[in-house]
Amino acid sequence: MALENGKDPGITIRMAHYRPLPLRLLQFCLVFLALGIGVSMVSMYTIRYLKVPNVGITSRSNVIFPCIEERDSLESWIRPPSNLWHKMNDTELFWRASAVHLRKQYPFKRVPKIAFMFLAKGPLPLAPLWEKFFEGHEGLYSIYVHSLPGYVPDFPSASVFYRRNIPSQKVEWGMMSMCDAERRLLANALLDVSNEWFILVSESCIPLQNFSVIYHYISKSRYSFMGAFDELGPYGRGRYNPNMQPEVTLEQWRKGSQWFEVNRWLAVYIVQDTIYYPKFRDFCQPACYVDEHYFPTMLSIQLPKLLANRTLTWADWSRGGAHPATFGKNDITEDFFSLNIYKLDLTEQLPRHIPHSVETSSITVAKGSLKSHGADKGHESYDRNRASYKKSVPSYHKPVS
Ligand SMILES: *[C@@H]1O[C@H](CO)[C@@H](O)[C@H](O)[C@H]1NC(C)=O
Ligand SMILES: *[C@@H]1O[C@H](CO)[C@@H](O)[C@H](O)[C@H]1NC(C)=O
Ligand SMILES: *[C@@H]1O[C@H](CO)[C@@H](O)[C@H](O)[C@H]1NC(C)=O
């Protein structure tokens, strides 16, 4: 997907290609309808069996109770929502999702899960591959899909993607609505208290390592894998707008890949933010691409010690030009995996890294740099985009403002 240098010259092509998205009202209406029916049935039940005298007041409180379900049992707090369709708007959802249990010991056996969050236009063409990837690891992952409103997924009930779409909204490429969608994914995933790690991928990502390796790697790392680096030049510091002061200074400005992995604490932090959000919404618009700056900058200011400063996804810029390499079916050979990707790693001095995911189809290759043993020393702040940038553009220190 969209990254870095490629964005500047390629806006029109990319816009036509990937975004914008239309609306998704029908399903909302259906949910309301279903809820309405549910509520009236419960009301009728209550009136009939409990013989509640004041119908007006009871039916009103029933509007609240059916959603909460046995509020007094622990079970209702720890069970993941049975249905991802809810009627909360973003304000309500983010508020709810940013609630934190400060007590460290859980009064139940909590198996931490990885939430895989798919930010997609519509269909997931690589779903069969992901199905294989998840097979046999039930209970260790959960899936959330944000696709264009109006897109109706048709996964069979046996699929891991069945009913995993969240209430979604229009996304415009390079705009704040992109970050809104990412925050919406995080917030929905936060509602399941067992989700401990959150991975954002696109429909064109594929995993390069099996589930066990990825789970082990992520769960053993002290860091969250958010790309964050200080790039001098027009595509880095050049996108900074001094109106962001005092919340964000030029020295604090960071850039990184849109695709990330964060732990629960960082996810909450991203969802609760109201300080940085307006600054980025108002002062980072194309040719400033907010999805490459908002989270990396905010987290580098607030929680820098928790970041590995590199992402687990990777796009191949080595072929040159404004866009990362597109991989077709002729590219996908054993050699491609064993030579090409490993060789790239070695060339760029990342011998300890094992690739984890490749983006294919028509967009890019993305790869996680997973090490075989979870112990992450986290000293690399390498970023491929930076390297490719260095090759193609002469040093440029003064920001455009
Ligand atoms: C969500 O609903 C609340 C209550 O009606 C309202 O105050 C808030 O502005 C709404 N938020 C959005 C994003 O529409
Ligand atoms: C996952 O991959 C690792 C490393 O390639 C391998 O050692 C392990 O056996 C694999 N696990 C499964 C369940 O296939
Ligand atoms: C990531 O960068 C921040 C500064 O932005 C630094 O404090 C932190 O130690 C870096 N993380 C690693 C793993 O080096």
% of the chain beyond a pLDDT of 90: 52
How many angstroms is it from 309 CA to the middle of ligand 3?
6
pLDDT of residue 112: 97
Give the pLDDT band (50/70/90) at residue 59. Answer: very low
**Residue 401 counted as domain residue:** no
Residue 322 and residue 247 share a domain: yes
87-91, 182-186, 273-277, 337-341: segment of lowest average pLDDT: 337-341
Alpha carbon nearest to ligand 1 atom 11, residue: 91
CB of 126 sitting under 6 A from ligand 3: no
Domain assignment present for residue 180? The answer is yes
Q: What is the pLDDT of residue 75?
A: 87
Which pLDDT does position 330 carry in this prediction? 83
Give the number of the atom of ligand 3 that is nearest the alpha carbon of residue 381. Answer: 14
Same domain, residue pair 269 and 388? yes
CA 294 – CA 277 distance, rounded (Å): 8
pLDDT digits (tens, 9 = 90+) for 125-141: 999 999 999 999 999 99
Distance 89 CA to ligand 1 centre (A): 6
Q: Is residue 190 lining ligand 2, measured as CB closer than 6 Å?
A: no
Q: How many CA atoms lie within 13 A of 153 on its CB side?
A: 26
* 148 and 61 share one domain: no
Give the per-residue pLDDT at 66. 52
CA–CA gap between residue 187 and residue 189 (Å, rounded)? 5
End of a domain among 54, 77, 100?
77
Q: Read off the pLDDT band of 285 (50, 70, 90).
A: very high
More confident residue, 240 or 68: 240
Residues 338 and 190 in one domain: yes
Ligand 2 atom at minimal distance to the Cα of residue 372: 4
Rounded (10°) CA dihedral 397, 260, 333, 342: 60
The string of pLDDT tens digits covering residues 288-323 is: 999 999 999 999 999 999 999 998 887 776 776 556
The yes-or-no verdict on residue 212 having pLDDT over 80 is yes
Residues 49 and 145 reside in one and the same domain: no
**CB of 290 closer than 8 Å to CB of 174:** yes
Q: Does any domain span residue 399?
A: no
Does the structure show a pLDDT above 50 at 186?
Answer: yes
Q: Which residue has the tokens 């705009």?
A: 175
* CA–CA distances in Å: residue 184 to residues 51, 91, 97, 106, 243: 41, 10, 10, 26, 27
The number of domains in the chain is 2
Looking at residue 279, the DSSP 8-state letter turns out to be H
Same domain, yes or no: 43 and 164? no
User: What pLDDT shows up at residue 207?
Assistant: 87
Tokens of 278: 């307006």
Query: Best substitution site from 381, 383, 386 to test ligand 3's pocket, by max atoms within 8 Å of Cβ?
Result: 381
With cut-offs at 50, 70 and 90, classify the pLDDT of residue 167: very high
Give the ligand whose atoms come closest to the C-alpha of residue 381. 3
Q: Does residue 223 have its Cβ closer than 6 Å to ligand 3?
A: yes
* Nearest-angstrom CA–CA distance, 337 and 363: 17
Domain hosting residue 340, numbered range: 4-26+92-392
379 or 143: whose pLDDT is higher? 143
- What confidence score (pLDDT) does residue 363 get? 27
Q: Are residues 250 and 375 in the same domain?
A: yes
CA–CA–CA angle 181, 115, 255 (5° rounding): 55
C-alpha of residue 92 to centroid of ligand 1, in Å: 7
Q: 289 and 208 share a domain?
A: yes
Q: Is the dihedral of CA 134, 135, 140, 146 positive or negative?
A: positive
Q: Are residues 16 and 55 in the same domain?
A: no
- The answer on 196 and 61 residing in a single domain is no
Q: What backbone torsions phi and psi does residue 163 show, to the nearest 5 degrees?
A: 55, 35
Do 139 and 59 lie in a common domain?
Answer: no
**Ligand 3 within 6 A of 305 CB?**
yes
For residue 12, pLDDT over 90 is answered with no
Q: What is the DSSP letter of 304?
A: G
329 occurs within a structural domain: yes
Q: Which residue's C-alpha comes closest to atom 4 of ligand 3?
A: 304
Residue at 87 is within a domain: no
55 and 151 part of one domain: no
Residue 249 reports pLDDT greater than 50: yes
Q: How far is the CA of 201 from the centre of ligand 2 (A)?
A: 22
Question: Which of 173-177, 309-313, 357-361 comes out lowest in average pLDDT?
Answer: 357-361
Residue 101 exposed, middle or buried by CB count within 10 Å (0-12, 13-18, 19+) = exposed
Residue 144 has pLDDT above 80, yes or no: yes
pLDDT confidence of 19, banded at 50, 70, 90? Answer: very low
